Amino acid sequence: MNVSISEEQGMLQDSVRKFVQNEVPLTRVRTLAAEPKGLNDELWTRIAEQGWLGILIPEAPGGLGMGVQELAVVCEELGRGAVPGPFVSTVLVAKLIAESGNDAAKAAWLEKLASGLTRGALALFEESHEIDLSAIATKAIGSNGGLLLNGKKQIVGDAQAANLFAVAARNDDGRLVFCLVEADAPGVTVKPNKLADLTSRSGNVTFKNVQVSKDAVITKCAEDAYRKMLNVANICIAADCVGGADYIHKLTVAYVKERTQFGKQVGSFQAVRHPLVDMFAELEAAKSATYYSAWALDANSPDADAAVAIARNTATQSYRNVTNGCLQAHGGIGFTWEYDLHIFLKRAKHNQHLHGSSHDYDEIICKKALGI
């Protein structure tokens, strides 16, 4: 096992980092905050041109045929720049369809998702916000040779930007299925959520008597697919946290080297230096956990579920601790709107609550790693 970044992955990392620096500087991130979808079509087209949207799609339908480790590399760099937009949501929907065994759905959507013509969103969670499969109550009942979809999904990431929803629901037999529903289909309503995080978008989506054709239903191993999607989504979150925390930590180290107080560099004071060391150690642990979990998923390792849960909790907590600590190290300027630190602090807080809570993943760690 070698979870360090390979030469090819390093080239990918450099490519994404340069793209973010050139195309999505933080000045542009602030501008995009005013966009209802969190991005504009011009930026989305530029992202699509890089080919990253097809990172988990096989090469034949127009993808890159890469793995979760490469996806983590991309997400780390997007997180380093606090880049907004439905990149992860689209990649996850593409992965779901690519592994669905539904040839009609593959033909209809994979090329469009890989090219950016279609933006995807996973509609998984309901009123309880629980990640357990038992919480899914949305109904997809047989009707006119297809299914009739009724239910409400909450906190659907990138709902405002999505053209295509992958909706987790229960069929007539109570079995889990995924329904592929276009955002403009009759009976689909999106209500945007108000978020403190300027770089994220989510919405509550209602499906009322939405007709779904049989070609747009994924039934093959749907429960396994749900768990896989959740695992990959959490690796994306962890990698985003690692990238954002690393950027803010480096920014703060540079700041305390330049800032003077009482005739000395602020960074010379132990009360500033040692917390930065603690943050660095915590960040490195989060990075190791993240890339190990990505390797574990790619390798179908038996400890993958536990590894992902550990990475998710370690990285989200690290991001929150680093942004809080760096805010303290900056002093007053760190609280100002004009300074960029608050963008990352809000993103860190938002990431902590994506796809469940830390308590949900503590339970997974208890069961999968500790056997209790």
For the stretch 144-173, pLDDT in tens is: 889 999 999 999 999 999 999 999 999 999
Give 201-243 pLDDT, tens digit per residue. Answer: 999 999 999 999 999 999 989 999 999 999 999 999 999 999 9
Q: Taking all residues of the chain, what is their mean pLDDT, rounded to a whole number?
A: 95
Instruction: In whole angstroms, give the CA distance from residue 22 to residue 12.
Output: 15
Domains of the chain plus CATH, in order, are 7-117 (1.10.540.10), 121-220 (2.40.110.10), 223-370 (1.20.140.10)
Burial 330-359 (b: 16+ CB within 10 A, else e): beeebeeeeebbbbbbbbbbbbbebbbbee
pTM here is: 0.96
Cα–Cα distance, 353 to 197 (Å, whole number): 12
Q: What is the mean pLDDT of residues 298-311?
A: 97
What phi, psi does 152 have (nearest 5°)? -135, 130
User: What band does 1 get if pLDDT is binned at 50, 70 and 90?
Assistant: low
pLDDT bin (cut points 50, 70, 90) of residue 276 is very high
Of 137, 41, 49, residue with least CA distance to 85: 41
CA distances, 59 to each of 30, 64, 299 (Å): 35, 5, 19
